[in-house]
Chains A and B, each alone.
Chain A
Amino acid sequence: MSRTAKILSLLFIAFWVLTAFVPALIAPADPLAINPSQAFQAPSGAHIFGTDESGRDVFTRVIHGAGDSLYIGLAATALGMGLALVLGTAAALAPRWLDEVILRVLEALYSVPSLLMALLIIAFTGPGVGPAIVAVGLSTAPGYARLVRSQIRTLKNSEMLEAATVLGRGTWRKVRNHLVPNALQPLLALVTLGIGQAVIWAAALSFLGLGTPPPAPEWGAMLSAGRTYLHLAWWLSFFPGLAIVVVAAGATLIGRALGGKVKAI
């Protein structure tokens, strides 16, 4: 990863972490404060992203919404990746027949469109932040599990591990010293790619009215609420959507810079 790429990625991550944890630093106003008389102001000096149907400042809400959206994105990816690590590693290290069984299960989960799986989970748990995390996490897990499995299988059959066998290393020491550390780096890249997609998924659920409850300024919810005033106030949907694209694109860039190869997410 070239030096400039490293600096840019760190800046990008620092900005969004700051925004997520201390939004007041960048947007001091209260994202929930309503001011009906100021409703539907176009982007201007006072309100760079304009105001929404209740007169709330869209810029403030986008900044404060970062915490909600990134929280869901990170938590969902962690859940999805955690599950994938367990399933993928098990499949890769297991004897042939167990590998075949897990592969078939993954194939089955993988063949059902992830949104259908998310909807089934939401129907079971009801809408909200927690269920959105579980839904996005579970529906992306099969994709990750397949990648983890292939990653660990290539490592398992690598010359490096054979050399370690010849040097007399036991299975446990080979896994701890060589297999896991070398599997982590590409997986880390995959995780960053995953975060971008997870933020989009969470927003999609809010778009369908199944994600974060009002009045939280989660990007997907804002975008979904904004689309009914599309003709009158395009900025209500445009800027939260832009924030999603910036985060997702940024995450992909950093993921690729970390060496993550684009595979099926």
Chain B
Amino acid sequence: MRRNQRATRLFTGALALPLAAALIAGCSSTNDPAASKDAEPVAGGTLVYASGDAEPSCLDPHVGGNYPQALVASQFMESLFTKDAEGKIIPWLAEKTEVSTDGLTRTITVRDGITFHDGTKLTSEAIKANIEHLQNPNTASSTGYLAVGKVDRIKLVDELTAELKLSAPDNALLESLSMPWTAIQSPQGLKRDQAANCAAPAGTGPFKVESWDRQQAVNLVRYEDYVSPAADAERASATSYLDGITWRFIPEAASRYAALQSGEVDVIDNPQPDTISTAADNGLGHLDAPRPGASNRLELNSSKAPFDDVRVREAFMHSVDVNSGINSLYFNTAKRSYSLLSSVEPLGISDESKFTTDATKANELLDAAGWTQRDSEGYRVKDGKRLTLKFPVSTNQSVPAEQSLFEQMQAAAKPVGFEIKIELLDLSSWYGALAKHEYDLVSAPYTKVGPSVLRILFHSDSTVPAPSGYFANNAQVKDPKLDRLLVDAEQTNDETERAELYKQAQQIVLDGYYVMPLYDQQNHFLYSKNVHGMGQTTAVSSPIYYNVFLDK
């Protein structure tokens, strides 16, 4: 699995795609304004959702595969597997599964009695059709395509069971099949041309796509024949309480928040940190669902000067004060992270000692590294070259608060001698800069369920660019010992051995000062006081509105 970055357009809106499922409350925390727990669920009403991300170019998450697609697709498409509150993989559309001893054959049996929105029945044929749809180059899938990278052939055993022949053992396959980007849609629907399927994919979710008037809204309505794989006894009816959801796109943060305050919309995503911190006293509910996978972090390009010298990398870690910046900019809505992985990932380790703010230590290290002279503006110079760090920032990736944090780092690093040059770029130019290695520092949120994201980020193979020029190992880490650890961790079936291998791998990266972790990938939602039952999220921490209801 690799990053999901599809060319999202326009202004703000952070995007990343993690993988975390929570059947019940999941790892997200909510604080509802009114004590909605005891309020009786009431059917009826259409929820108005306002997203700050750019409008997706296609509603079928197989095509491309970014977070805005996950947010909306989670309402009308379900995946084969998902994760429970403790983060363990559990079956969803699938009934049961087992893997051959050599790990090369994965058999999956789907539940009986589930129908797609176009009326066709869920059978093993759907597993085959969906995986082949992902692997077909014309689908132009990027996230889903990599998730099923290791599946060679699929054999249908009977009406509900299919066998997946793998090219190599892959203990992350179930995690990959719990993402919305590998969700299952009707094989009948997939036969239509891509534009038609993009406009209204036929899934199995509690809602279905009724219409999509571009740049205005995607209109979802209740799917009357919905069958929930996890039958919940005391629920009055199997179908959703809401009649439907109007999925709108309001890129301007201030307008989005104003619309929520004036009651024009019920739920908004990507709220600004200041509005999150004052949500409670404005009578607004707040859902915090940090995204799993990698943490938000700065990667230092160790393949070229000045960061080819570990002392310079360490000096950089101590030259900036990230914590005070986070507190003032994020209004304590984001916790400082010292780990390569999201706090949601059980196997993540953190090492605070590496990232203490210590200007004197930084100066000592830089002097030791030979950067002794200073030029007229106070920047350190060695053999005539100034200690300059090129830092391309994508306006689509980094929210304003994060951009201000980088500006604060820029100011703090100056007295120590670092000249940080921030360059705000649109997405296409940002990728161009990365592909041409024109960066010393970069912040690139990357998401994959589970610790296997480490292999993509730090294995030396990931320094080889794909045809499009894209590569994931921005820190350019090339350490054979680390490579072996990462490969073995993916092959073993023994959980404790897997944890131990990933622990050693993370320690190597932390000791090498290749990465400066910042905070979990932020994923906040604000909702008005008449919205109840919020909290249920998918494997990628995107909220599900099956249990949500509105005051009458």
Contact = CB atoms under 8 A, between A and B. Distances in A.
A binds B: yes
Interface of A: 32-34, 36-37, 39-40, 53-55, 126-128, 208-210, 213-215, 225, 227-232
B329 A231 contact: no
B328 A39 contact: yes
B329 A54 contact: yes
A229 B271 CA distance: 11
A228 B272 contact: yes
B274 A126 contact: no
A96 B273 CA distance: 63
B33 to A, nearest CB: 18
B286 to A, nearest CB: 16
Contacts of A208: 11
Contacts of B211: none
Nearest to B325: A36
Contact of B329 (A39, A127, A128): A39
Contacts of B257: 231
Interface in B341-378: none
Contacts of B254: 227-228, 230-231
Contacts of A39: 328-329
Contacts of A37: 324, 328
Contact of B424 (A55, A209, A231): A209
Given A53-B328, A54-B329, A215-B410, A228 B400 contact: yes
Contacts of B329: 36, 39, 53-54
Interface of B, secondary structure class, is: helix
A191 to B, nearest CB: 30
Nearest to A33: B411
B359 to A, nearest CB: 15
Contacts of B410: 214-215
Contacts of A209: 11, 395, 424, 426
B29 interface: no
Contact of A34 (B11, B12, B411, B423): B411
B429 interface: yes
A208 B422 CA distance: 17
Interface residues of B, number: 34
Contact of B407 (A34, A40, A127, A128): A34
Contacts of A229: 272, 274
Contacts of A40: 274, 328
A229 B331 CA distance: 12
Given A126-B429, A214-B410, 14 more contacts: A32-B411, A36-B329, A37-B324, A53-B400, A53-B401, A53-B404, A54-B329, A127-B426, A210-B426, A214-B422, A215-B410, A215-B422, A225-B404, A228-B272
B376 to A, nearest CB: 16
Contacts of B421: 213
A200 to B, nearest CB: 19
B253 A228 contact: yes
A214 B424 contact: yes
Contacts of A225: 400, 403-404
Looking at B12, B258, B411, the one whose CB has the most chain A CB atoms below 10 A away is: B411
A232 B429 contact: no
Interface string B383-416: 0000000000001000011011011101110000
A22 B278 CA distance: 40
A36 B424 contact: no
Interface of B: 11-12, 252-254, 257-258, 272, 274-275, 278, 324-325, 327-329, 395, 400-401, 403-404, 406-408, 410-412, 421-426, 429
B403 A214 contact: yes
Contacts of A36: 324-325, 327-329, 408
B253, B404, B421 interface centre (most CB from chain A within 10 Å)? B404
A228 to B, nearest CB: 4
B374 to A, nearest CB: 18
A18 B514 CA distance: 46
A221 to B, nearest CB: 9
Contacts of A214: 403, 406-407, 410, 422, 424
Contacts of B423: 128, 213
A215 B411 contact: yes
A180 B32 CA distance: 73
A203 to B, nearest CB: 15
A229 B276 CA distance: 12
A55 B278 CA distance: 20
B408 A231 contact: no
Nearest to B396: A209
Nearest to A211: B424
Given A34-B408, A54-B407, A231 B274 contact: yes
Contacts of B275: 231-232
A55 B412 CA distance: 13
Contacts of A128: 423
Contacts of A34: 407-408, 411-412
Task: Sort A-B residue pairs by CB-CB distance and give the 6 closest, nearest first.
Answer: A36-B328, A230-B254, A232-B274, A228-B400, A39-B328, A34-B411
A55 B328 contact: yes
Contacts of B253: 227-228
B327 to A, nearest CB: 7
Nearest to B393: A214
A124 to B, nearest CB: 11
A237 to B, nearest CB: 9
Contacts of B258: 231
Nearest to B406: A214
A228 B274 CA distance: 10
A209 B327 CA distance: 25
Contacts of B324: 36-37
Contacts of A54: 325, 328-329, 404, 407-408, 411
A127 B424 CA distance: 8
Nearest to A210: B426
A227 B422 CA distance: 20
The winner among A214, A215, A227, A228 for most chain B CB atoms within 10 A is A228
A55 B400 CA distance: 15
B401 A213 contact: no
A227 B252 CA distance: 9
Nearest to A126: B429
Nearest to B403: A214
16 contacts: A32-B411, A33-B411, A36-B408, A39-B329, A53-B329, A54-B329, A54-B404, A126-B429, A127-B424, A127-B425, A209-B395, A209-B426, A213-B421, A214-B410, A215-B410, A225-B404
A146 B425 CA distance: 34
A144 B252 CA distance: 33
Nearest to B421: A213
B98 to A, nearest CB: 50
A228 B403 CA distance: 12
B535 to A, nearest CB: 26
Contact of A215 (B272, B407, B429): B407
B409 to A, nearest CB: 9
A32 B429 CA distance: 27
A10 B399 CA distance: 43
Nearest to A232: B274
Nearest to B253: A228
B435 to A, nearest CB: 14
